[in-house]
Amino acid sequence: MTFLVPTAFALAVIAIPITVLYILKLRMRQVHVSSDLFWQQIFTARPPRSFWSRFRHPLSWLAQLLILLAIVVAAADPRWNSTQTEQRLVLILDVSASMQASEPRGQRFELARTRALQIINGLPASAQAAVIAANHRPEILCSMTDHIPDLLRAVTSVGPSAAPGRPDLAVSIASSLLQETNAASILLLSDRCFDATSLPAEPRLTIETVGTPLPNIGIVGVQALRNSDDPLSAELLVAVRNASSLPAEAVLQLRMNETLSYVERLSLAPEETTSKTFPRIGPAGGIWQAELREIRFLQNAADTITSAPAATAPADALAIDNTAAAVLPAANRQTVRLISSNGYFVQKVLEADPLIDLQVQSAITESPANEPAQITILHELVPARLPAGPVIVLDPRGDCDAWALKETRQNPLPSPAVEAHPITRNFRLDDVLIPAATELEFRLPARVLAVAEDGLPLCVLLQRPTGPVLVVPLQLTQSDLAFRTVFPILISNTLRWFANTTHLTASALQAGQQIAVPLPSATFTQRTAAEADIQQVLLRSPAGRSELIPLVRTADGSAELRALTGPLCETGLWSVEPTGTLAGIGVPSKSAVTIAVNLASAAESDLRPPGPVSEPASADSRTPRSGSRPLWFWICCTAAFLLILEWFLYQRRWIT
Amino acid sequence: MLFPSDFLTRLEYLSIMSKRVFRGQLLAQRRTRQTGSGIEFSDHREYSPGEDLRYLDWNIYARHGDLLIRRFQEEQDLHVWLLLDCSRSMNFANGRKFELARQLTAALAWIALADLDRISVLACAAGVVQQFPLTRGRERILPLMQFLETLSADRHETRLQESVRQFLHRRPRPGIAVVLSDLFDPYGFETGLDQLRFSGFDLHVIQLHHPLDAEPGLLGDAEIVDLESGRILQTTITEQMLAQYRQLFQQHQLSVRQYCARYNLGCTQSSTKAEFDALVMAMMRQSATS
């Protein structure tokens, strides 16, 4: 037997005062009686106490010392010496969203935590263990150690997440921790609501299932999208899944900016996933919130949603997937000045966009100095100095301060790969006929978004302090680009990006993702941040917790700023807000960016572990564990028993 | 206060009650059996020559011709001996037992004096330590009360046998003997009472005890100090011991009652919670119904 805390034996000195106090003659209270006739008959008077007879009740004194001994030994945390070789265990605790499911015996995660504490307490003295939380990004809560309190503290400190878990990554990390150790095991405490095929082949892995199959209905997908061909209309897409073997009914409520917009009753067959689309007309944006209510699983077909629920009907086991949200960006009107002498098709494309107020000029004129920067589209005509503000240049025919013309290349072959950028979303040039394109020598930091097979840039984004410039050096009049759908898509994407309405690639994110949030460039640029010497902005969670997250500056000198968030492991509406100093330099508070985070995971919403549920007793014997409580617990029980015994001794109930 | 201002009033009430309800039953209302020169006719007997012709009943001789001598009951004063226990055990719990015993002594003495009997009070402990001599007349109640007030219960232990022996050594005239004590006599109470009984005394026992004598209410480690002997017992008192104590105490009380019943003695057992007048009334009721 070894002791994890041998310093606790110092407590044994308490035996000295116990003995001294016991030996010391206690002053007994004197009681006067009329006569001791009857007392004499009850007992024989004892002689005056000698030194040794001061141990009047040696059993009581002995019991007190035994109690002290038990406490000291328990505090020293004894462990049985194992005859086996040194064992190593990596305990992986599944903290994914499905572990928040409510079991009849409590929350799944709490059951797993209790089991983990049991296992740690039952570790032999020679064993080492580590604890990993299988979150969306696995986290080592406690590295390999034999210090039980650290392991217990690690298990106690962690809580369930709202994000899908990645047990495969956690197992990989565990394998790395154990390396090639043979006397080692990996124990995954999980509800197995994940794709088991994704787990790496690890012979030392044992999965202990926590929880029982439970029915659940959840929102497994939600997105809010504006139609690319009609920016004034938008749609909300909601996918609901019945992850049970019973038919179910529910009421889906949709709110737009807290106003109830749609209510629809859903009847879902077992295992059915249904998708619903809800339209919205208008340029205004907002926050869609979907909620599943009145969820009922029907035991038989005669049940309806209006009837009273059967007493035996199971309840929805997971609440976190019953709500979801999505952010619909506003469609703002834009004033665009087109300068072209031969831009009929370009003009028609722009006129087809209902959000654009178009001004057409056939020649280059100087803009008034006090005129606010607006979007300018230059077709063939290029001034010596590009105007301020966002600029789109189509088929440039001259030099300017941003580039110099070089040669014209014939029949460049567009590459199907394009740079990932909001401008190039749904943009492909591979089937576009390009008879000629102009090669440019850029004088500003350039980001090539599309390129030909020979390396000729076909779509370039220039960053400059006064505004971004998109250059498309194709000869538009000879190409069929203007007749292709990609052209209005390119123009629309570019204008939306200029208007900063494409700040997020998705209207809703899945919990656990980490993103760089583009901040509104109109009011929140690198220049304003630099003026205020701001390095961080505020990230506020749905629960109201706030933290500072760093700003990310682009290396190409663009004005765009992004805020890098950590993993968003909480469902609801997050917001990225300017700090107080930024607000002080005129950045309005409405420049805050709202991020909708949902569970939206079909795997996490399915609360039925695949295959039979394994009991802890049938788990792999290689996993060091103990079904009983730790040794110190039984020692404490012994101390409690001795305490009771000593109490009886003190009361002298059995002394005659 | 041993004798409060209304004490004599309460004594007078007891005296009246004793005459109205228990006439002839208690103390001085009793007459001796001797016949002699009294004035109260007793019976007749045959005349013998030489007897005093003044006692010849001439009316019967005139009617029937029989010579009969009239006999008269001779009246003698009844002597009441009050043996008051003055041992230390009577001083237990602020001396309430001793206080009640003295009040009872005064009450009984007053009733006797009111009936023109003679009373004497003997303070007893290990022997007779003090005596209020034989006296009669109601006016003697005040000296008696003064005597009782001067008594103290610090006279060692109870030895009733020795006290009775010393009492009988003075050759007292037989009468009524009232023993007021807790009877916590380590040598036994029976011998002393036997001696009184054998000497022709009409005996009445008044046994007093404090509530703490019956129920000590002690638990745990304690030094038990005997008030009379000063002996100390170091022990740990348990519930079991307390139960045994209660049983022994009840046995002691029962033995006193059985002794008195066996020899047809008056017996009164009371706690010190009772008032003296209520206790005297209870005694008188008991005598009337027995």
Q: A531 in contact with B at a CB cutoff of 8 Å?
A: no
Question: Is a pLDDT exceeding 60 seen at residue A499?
Answer: yes
The burial class, CB within 10 Å (0-12 / 13-18 / 19+), for B274 is: middle
Q: Round to whole Å and give the CA distance between B18 and B27.
A: 10
In chain A, which residue's Cα lies nearest the Cα of B219? A651
Nearest to B184 among A29, A34, A655 (CB): A34
Alpha carbons A346 and A338: distance in angstroms, whole number: 9
Written out in words, the top-level CATH class of the domain with range B7-28+76-289 is: alpha beta
Residue B235: CA count within 13 A, CB half-sphere: 23
User: How many angstroms separate the CA atoms of B25 and B18, rounded?
Assistant: 9
Residue B123 has pLDDT above 50, yes or no: yes
CB contact under 8 A, A34 and B210: yes
In this structure, are residues A200 and A178 in contact, taking their beta carbons and an 8 Å threshold? no
Range in A17-26, A500-509, A633-642 the model is least confident about: A500-509
Question: Which residues are B175's β-sheet partners?
Answer: none
Please give the C-alpha separations between residue A290 and each of A237, A243, A278, A317, in angstroms, as whole numbers: 10, 18, 11, 18
Residue ranges in B37-91 assigned as alpha helix (H): 58-64
**How far is residue B61's CA from residue B56's CA, in Å, rounded to a whole number?**
8
Q: Which amino acid is at A291?
A: E
Helix (H, G, I), strand (E, B) or coil at A62: helix
The pLDDT value given to residue B22:
42
| Whole-angstrom distance, CA of residue B182 vs CA of residue B192 | 14
Phi, psi of A605 (to 5 degrees): -80, -15
Candidates B92, B81, B93; CA nearest to B123 is B81
By percentage, how much of chain A surpasses pLDDT 90?
Answer: 13
The span from the CA of A95 to the CA of A91, in Å, is 12
Interface of B with A in 25-84 (CB under 8 A): none
What is the mean predicted confidence (pLDDT) over A144-159?
88
Residues A52, A81: contact at Cβ < 8 Å? no
Which amino acid, one-letter code, is at A367?
Answer: S
Distance from CA of B12 to the nearest CA of A (A): 33
Put residue A294 in one of left, alpha, beta given phi > 0 → left and psi -120 to 50 → alpha.
left
Q: Does A653 touch chain B (CB under 8 A)?
A: yes
Q: Is B85 on the interface with A (CB under 8 A)?
A: no
Provide, as residue numbers in chain B, all residues whose Cβ is less than 8 Å from the Cβ of A53: none
Q: Which residues of B touch A32 (CB under 8 A)?
A: 92, 225, 227
At A258, list the tokens.
């807290």
Token digits of residue A185: 């095991």
User: B170: distance to nearest CA of chain A, Å?
Assistant: 30
- CA A470, A471, A473 angle in degrees (round to 5)? 160
3-state secondary structure (DSSP) of residue A164: coil
End-to-end CA distance of chain A: 42
Residue B83: closest CA among B125, B115, B112, B114: B125
Per-residue pLDDT, averaged over A436-448, amounts to 88
Q: Does B245 touch chain A (CB under 8 A)?
A: yes
Q: Do the Cβ atoms of B233 and A40 come within 8 Å? A: yes
CA A138 to chain centroid: 11
ipTM, 2 decimals? 0.81
Each residue of A236-258: pLDDT tens digit? 899 999 988 888 899 999 998 88
Which chain A residues are closer than 8 Å to B245 by Cβ? 38-39, 42
For residue B219, report the phi and psi dihedrals to the nearest 5 degrees. Answer: -145, 150
Interface contact B182, partner A, CB < 8 A:
yes
Res. A228: pLDDT tops 70:
no
Residue A150 host element (H or E)? helix A148-157
What mean pLDDT comes out for the span B24-37? Answer: 48
Between chains, do B235 and A29 touch, taking CB under 8 Å as contact? no
Per-residue pLDDT at A502: 45
Instruction: Give B76: exposed, middle or buried? Use CB within 10 Å, 0-12, 13-18, 19+.
Output: middle
Cβ-count burial of B253 within 10 angstroms (0-12 exposed, 13-18 middle, 19+ buried)? middle
Torsion on CA atoms A5, A7, A9, A11, rounded to nearest 10: -120
Helices (H), A44-122: 58-75, 108-121
Q: From the DSSP assignment, how many helices (H) and strands (E) are in chain B?
A: 9, 11
Q: Nearest-CA residue of chain B relative to A39?
A: B245
Residue B74 has pLDDT above 80, yes or no: no
Interface test with chain A among B182, B223, B242, B272, by most A beta carbons within 10 Å: B223
Residue A30 token pair: 């004197």
User: Using the beta-carbon criterion (under 8 Å), do B231 and A36 form an inter-chain contact?
Assistant: yes
Q: Tell me which chain A residues have a C-beta less than 8 angstroms from the C-beta of B224.
A: 31, 33, 36, 39
Element (H, E) at B162: helix B160-169
Whether residue A31 and residue B239 make contact (CB cut-off 8 A), yes or no, is no
User: For B268, phi and psi rounded to 5 degrees?
Assistant: -130, 125
pLDDT of residue B28: 43
- Interface membership of A655 toward B (CB under 8 Å): yes
pLDDT tens readout for residues A365-375 = 766 555 555 78
Contact: B248, A41; criterion CB under 8 Å: yes
Q: Does A28 contact B at CB distance below 8 Å?
A: yes
> Which part of chain B is CATH 3.40.50.410?
7-28+76-289
A46/B234 CB distance under 8 A: yes
Give me the mean pLDDT over the A606-615 stretch: 68
Angle at A531 between CA A530 and CA A533, to 5 degrees: 55
Residue B30 has pLDDT above 70, yes or no: no
Q: How confident is the model at residue A527 (pLDDT cuts 50, 70, 90)?
A: low
pLDDT at B168 over 90: yes
The pLDDT of A433-442, averaged and rounded, is 89
Instruction: Indicate yes or no: CB of A35 within 8 angstroms of CB of B223.
Output: no
Please report the domains of chain A, with CATH numbers, ordered by start residue. 2-77+635-651 (no CATH), 88-213 (3.40.50.410), 216-328 (2.60.40), 365-498 (no CATH), 509-603 (2.60.40)
Structure tokens at B120: 């004497």
**Do the bridges between strand B202-209 and strand B176-181 make them parallel or antiparallel, or are there none, so unpaired?**
parallel
Residue where the block lists tokens 């962690």: A158
Instruction: Say if residue A584's pLDDT is above 70.
Output: no
Q: What tokens does B2 get?
A: 């041993």
Reduce the secondary structure of A445-501 to three states and give it as a string.
CEEEEEEECCCCEEEEEECCCCCCEEEECECCCCCCHHHCCHHHHHHHHHHHHHCCC
Higher pLDDT, A119 or A81: A119
Start-to-end C-alpha separation, chain B: 34
C-beta separation of A130 from A142 below 8 A:
yes
